[in-house]
Amino acid sequence: MSILFKVVRRHVLALMLLPTSLMIANRAMAIQKAENQDVRDLLSLAAQQSASLDYDADQMQSLLHNDVAWQTHAILLQAVKGHVNQLSRTIAKLEAERSEASTWQQKGVDRVLPLLRELAENTTAAINHLNKNQARPVSGYYADYLDENAETAHDLNRIITATIEYGHMRGKLEKLEEQIQPST
């Protein structure tokens, strides 16, 4: 048997197996859990809440550049704390629904958890610092806490928004795929 014949035969076999391979891959994709509507709704709620935190964090950072009373810091920190607690409750609901979520929804929830913990810890540290340093609220590590909170809040909002956007794009892709599939 010539080398050319062996190469051609291998290519022909590969081409013959290609449709079967594509069909198996397509079925494997279909076996994955579908998007969970409850998780999708909770992610949308989390996106709204993280947008509020994102805004709060920017407001807190602006206080570092203005000479305002410590009470103003305290009021805004309490708003941040309230939004962190609100988002924590939503994320807890997402965790409870995790086993029913699609793989990509699970990944989104998993990426958010450590950021939310970090945000809660930094907010608590900022509140504790402010309570001890009312005469000089922007002294010490306070600015670092606020900067960290801003960065974490932005990341949190970005990840939740990207997870939702991924779901929308995945849905569109699935609809397009249905249009190009041969009817059976």
The SS3 call for residue 125 is helix
Whether residue 173 is found in the same domain as residue 140: yes
Whether residue 27 is found in the same domain as residue 113: no
The rounded distance, in Å, linking the Cα atoms of 69 and 114 is: 32
Q: What is the pTM of this model?
A: 0.76
pLDDT confidence of residue 29 = 46
Give the H/E segment covering residue 119.
helix 103-132
Residue 103 burial (C-beta neighbours within 10 Å; 0-12, 13-18, 19+)? exposed
Whether residue 52 is found in the same domain as residue 8: no
Count the neighbouring beta carbons within 10 Å of the beta carbon of residue 161: 17
Whether residue 165 is found in the same domain as residue 131: yes
What domain range is 125 assigned to? 35-180
Tally of structural domains, the chain: 2
The mean pLDDT of 103-111, rounded to a whole number, is 94
Can you read off the two tokens belonging to residue 96? Answer: 């409870």
Task: Provide the pLDDT confidence category of residue 7 given band limits of 50, 70 and 90.
Answer: low
Whether residue 15 is found in the same domain as residue 49: no
Q: What is the pLDDT of residues 13-62, one digit of tens each?
A: 555 655 555 455 445 444 457 889 999 999 999 999 999 999 999 999 99
Mean predicted lDDT score pLDDT of the chain: 86
CATH code, domain with 152? 1.20.1420.10
pLDDT confidence of residue 121 = 95
